[in-house]
Structure 1
Amino acid sequence: MSVELPFAPVDTIIRRNAGDLRVSAEAAEELARRVEDRGADLAVDAAEHATADGRKTLMAEDFGVEATIDKNALELPVAPVDRIARLKIDGQYRVSMDARIALADILEDYADNVAEAAAILARHADRRTVKAEDVETYFALFDAT
């Protein structure tokens, strides 16, 4: 499966959490893959909420969000997040713009948390570079997939 989320914004998210550490391309790729999986799983849950309400359109509230932020405040682009939302749900669902923005916001917070932990793990290993293994170790330790 190809990764829908571009690596560049994910790399930016890692860098803003890494401080003076370098970031490997593999770390950004691994985190993008994990973020994509998380987003697709959240969309499945949101689709169940929409179906229970008799709708075929995912709304922000289906993701547990009551108010959305300005999409320009996000690092993650909305178009790939829309594609991520559709990875595991039936093609009959539509995804509202507010739902896309809500999901992007949730995923960006998720990526920030993982990136911060990966940077801590890199420092703990006495390295100057955040690597894919730091992202993988986070998930192995916290099973937060």
Structure 2
Amino acid sequence: MSVELPFAPVDSIIRRNADGLRVSQAAAEELATRIQDRGARLAAGAAEEATADGRKTLMAADFGVSEAVDPETLELPVAPVDRIARLDIDESYRVSMDARIALAQLLEAYADDLAGAAATLARHADRRTVKAEDIRTYIELVE
């Protein structure tokens, strides 16, 4: 599975949580992969919700979001998030714009959590660089 997210917004998210630490390219790539995996799983769950309601269109409420934020406030672009949403669902589903924005909102919050925790682990390891292993270690700890 290829990563659908562009590098720049993911790098921006991890850097804003790194508190002055350097960030390896591998860490940004790992974060992008984790965001994508999470987004595909969330969309599959949302598709189940829509199906249970007799719909073929995913709505923001299917993601547990009552009101989507202004997309201009998000770092993650909506178009790649839309592609992520469609990775693990049947192509007959439609994804409303509010659902795309809601998913981007959830994924950005998830990315902030991962990036912040990875930076904490890097500092704990007495390193000045956030590495991919920091992200993987945090995921192992919380799963």
Query: Would you call these one fold, judging by a TM-score over 0.5?
Result: yes
Cα distance in 2 for partners of 1:60, 1:139 equals 26
Letter in 1 for 2:61: E
Pairing of 1:30-109 with structure 2 (within 5 A): 30-109=30-109
Query: What per-residue deviation string (whole Å, max 9, x for no partner) do you get for residues 97-139 of structure 1?
Result: 0000000000000000000000000000000000001001111
| SS of corresponding position for 1:122 | helix
Stretches of 4+ aligned residues off by more than 6 angstroms? none
Superposition RMSD in Å? 0.5
Cα distance in 2 for partners of 1:116, 1:104 equals 18
Cα distance in 2 for partners of 1:86, 1:20 equals 35
Cα distance in 2 for partners of 1:54, 1:126 equals 53
**Aligned equivalent of 1:12:** 12
Cα distance in 2 for partners of 1:22, 1:10 equals 14
Cα distance in 2 for partners of 1:95, 1:82 equals 7
Identity %: 75
1:8 Cα deviation after fit: 1.2
Cα distance in 2 for partners of 1:62, 1:140 equals 27
Residues 1:124 and 2:124 are matched in the alignment: yes
Aligned length: 143
1:6 Cα deviation after fit: 1.2
Query: What per-residue deviation string (whole Å, max 9, x for no partner) do you get for residues 61-93 of structure 1?
Result: 000011110000000000000000000000000
1:141 Cα deviation after fit: 1.1
Letter in 2 for 1:82: D
1:44 Cα deviation after fit: 0.5
User: How does the TM-score come out when normalised to structure 2?
Assistant: 0.99
Cα distance in 1 for partners of 2:41, 2:140 equals 18
1:142 Cα deviation after fit: 1.1
